[in-house]
Amino acid sequence: MECYRLTIHEAADLLRRRELSVRELTQAVLERIQRTDPHTGSYLTICETDALAQAEQADRSLQTGHPPSPLWGIPIAIKDVILTKGVRSTAGSKMLEHFIPPYDATVVRRLKDAGAIIIGKANCDEFAMGSSNENSAFFPSRNPWDLTRVPGGSSGGSAVAVAADQALAALGTDTGGSIREPASFCGVVGLKPTYGRVSRFGVVAFASSLDQVGPLTKDVRDCAILLQAIAGHDPQDSTSVNFPVPDYQATLTHGVQGMRVGIPKEYFVEGMQPEVEAAVRRAIAVLAELGAQPVSISLPHTEYAIATYYIIATAEASSNLARYDGVKYGYRATPAGNLQDMYLHTRAQGFGSEVKRRILLGTYVLSAGYYDAYYLKAQKVRTLIRQDFRNAFTTCDIIATPVAPTTAFRLGEKVADPLTMYLSDIFTIAVNLAGLPGLSVPCGFDNQGLPISVQLIGKPFEEETLLRAAYAYEQVTDWHACKPPL
Partner 1 sequence: MHITLQDIQRVAFLARLHLTPEEQTALIEHFNTMLSYVEKLHELQTEDIHPTAHAVDVPSPLRDDVVTNHPNTDALLQNAPARSATFFCVPKIIEP
Kindly state the smallest distance separating residue 252's Cβ from partner 1, in Å.
25
Q: How distant is the alpha carbon of residue 354 from its chain centre? A: 19
CA distances in angstroms from 298 to 191, 280, 286, 387, listed in the order given: 23, 17, 22, 11
Q: Judge whether 256 and 456 are in contact, CB under 8 Å.
A: no
Q: Residue from 250, 285, 376, 481 that binds partner 1 (CB under 8 A)?
A: 376
120: nearest Cα among 67, 164, 70, 182: 164
Q: Residue 126 or residue 474: which is nearer to partner 1 going by CB?
A: 126
**Cα dihedral sign, 169-262-290-270:** negative
Rounded to whole angstroms, the maximal C-alpha distance in the chain is: 70
Residues 429-458, interacting with partner 1 (CB under 8 A): 432-436
Q: Residue from 112, 269, 278, 364 that binds partner 1 (CB under 8 A)?
A: 364
Q: Residue from 56, 278, 356, 405 that binds partner 1 (CB under 8 A)?
A: 356
Kindly state the smallest distance separating residue 422's Cβ from partner 1, in Å.
9
Strand partners, 203: 82
Kindly state the smallest distance separating residue 193's Cβ from partner 1, in Å.
11
Phi/psi of residue 344, nearest 5 degrees: -60, -40
50: nearest Cα among 154, 120, 142: 120
Kindly state the smallest distance separating residue 340's Cβ from partner 1, in Å.
8
Q: Residue 231 or residue 434: which is nearer to partner 1 going by CB?
A: 434
Lateral strand order in the sheet of 398-402: 43-46, 117-122, 75-79, 169-174, 212-217, 189-192, 438-445, 451-458, 398-402, 260-264, 293-297
Residues 378-437, interacting with partner 1 (CB under 8 A): 378-384, 386, 418-419, 432-436
Measured CA to CA, the distance from residue 215 to residue 228 in angstroms comes to: 10
Residues 187-226, interacting with partner 1 (CB under 8 A): 194-196, 209-210
Q: Residue 65 or residue 102: which is nearer to partner 1 going by CB?
A: 102
Q: Judge whether 451 and 145 are in contact, CB under 8 Å.
A: yes
Q: Residue from 361, 429, 441, 470 that binds partner 1 (CB under 8 A)?
A: 361
Residues 99-128, interacting with partner 1 (CB under 8 A): 99-100, 102-103
Residues 144-173, interacting with partner 1 (CB under 8 A): none
Bin 21: left if φ > 0, else alpha if -120 < ψ < 50, else beta.
beta
Q: Residue 60 or residue 390: which is nearer to partner 1 going by CB?
A: 390
Phi/psi of residue 24, nearest 5 degrees: -60, -45
What type of residue sits at position 296?
S
Q: Residue 219 or residue 425: which is nearer to partner 1 going by CB?
A: 425
Residues 21-80, interacting with partner 1 (CB under 8 A): none
Q: Residue from 374, 393, 409, 427 that binds partner 1 (CB under 8 A)?
A: 374
Residues 242-261, interacting with partner 1 (CB under 8 A): 242
Residues 80-99, interacting with partner 1 (CB under 8 A): 98-99
What residues act catalytically?
79, 154, 178
* Candidate ranges 33-41, 106-114, 350-358, 463-471; the one touching partner 1 (CB under 8 A): 350-358
Residue 369 sits in the site that holds partner 1 (CB under 8 A): no
Kindly state the smallest distance separating residue 473's Cβ from partner 1, in Å.
27
Q: Residue 296 or residue 383: which is nearer to partner 1 going by CB?
A: 383
Q: Using CB under 8 A, count the residues that bind partner 1.
A: 73
Q: Residue from 285, 360, 476, 481 that binds partner 1 (CB under 8 A)?
A: 360
Q: What is the DSSP string of 295-311?
A: EEE--TTGGGHHHHHHH
| Torsion angle in degrees (nearest 10) through CA of 105, 107, 111, 112 | 20
Residue 269 sits in the site that holds partner 1 (CB under 8 A): no
Residue 138 sits in the site that holds partner 1 (CB under 8 A): no
Count of positions (residues) in the chain: 486
Per-residue contact string for residues 304-343; x = within reach of partner 1 by CB under 8 A: x-xxx-xx------x---x--xxxxxxxx----xxxxxxx
Q: Residue 77 or residue 230: which is nearer to partner 1 going by CB?
A: 230
Measured CA to CA, the distance from residue 148 to residue 449 in angstroms comes to: 13
Strands 169-174 and 212-217: antiparallel
Q: Residue 42 or residue 212: which is nearer to partner 1 going by CB?
A: 212
Kindly state the smallest distance separating residue 305's Cβ from partner 1, in Å.
11
Residues 284-303, interacting with partner 1 (CB under 8 A): 301, 303
Q: What's the angle, vertex CA 360, arms to CA 355 and CA 363, rounded to 5?
A: 125
